Amino acid sequence: MQEKENNDGIVFKPIFKIILLIFTSFILFGALAIIFFGPKQSEVEIGEEEPELIEDGIHVRTGLIEADGLQTVITNCTSCHSSKLIIQNRMGEEQWNATIRWMQKTQGLWPLGENQKVIVDYLTKNYPVLEKGRRPPLTNIDWYQLEGK
């Protein structure tokens, strides 16, 4: 009995040592991976938030025009979708308010409070409806009845 126990001890010990070695190397690799890849990841995160660069009156990261209310628009309007969606949609004040109401009702947009006016002012000022002013709407038209055949 005693001999067998001794044998077991001698046979198993190196195996445990190898297992221990494998585990420690895994832990070491993990630590090295964190050391090597950790800083890179945080660099990327900083890099994404950092460029608040303005070039030629354009906010580089979003492509939005630099003007009063820009930061409010960036904070409230670019987290769900691209700013392109905003730039492409030229609307009047009423339409913007309706679009915001629609997003609040159906897309989970939060209440904007006083910022709504800041945002809508920014949008109507910097992205005016292009069609406006091309031709004033017709007024005082003398409509006449078409004669039937």
Residues forming contacts to ligand HEC in the complex (CB under 6 A) are 76-77, 79-81, 85-86, 89, 99-100, 103, 107-109, 119
Smaller CB distance to ligand HEC: residue 54 or 76? 76
**Min dist. Cβ of residue 79 to ligand HEC (A):** 5
DSSP 137: P
**Min dist. Cβ of residue 68 to ligand HEC (A):** 15
Cα 110 from Cα 119, distance rounded (Å): 14
* The pairing of beta strand 54-55 with beta strand 58-59: antiparallel
**Min dist. Cβ of residue 57 to ligand HEC (A):** 19
Tell me which residue has tokens 């890179």. 40
Smaller CB distance to ligand HEC: residue 79 or 145? 79
Smaller CB distance to ligand HEC: residue 16 or 110? 110
β-strand partners of 116:
none
Cα 107 from Cα 98, distance rounded (Å): 13
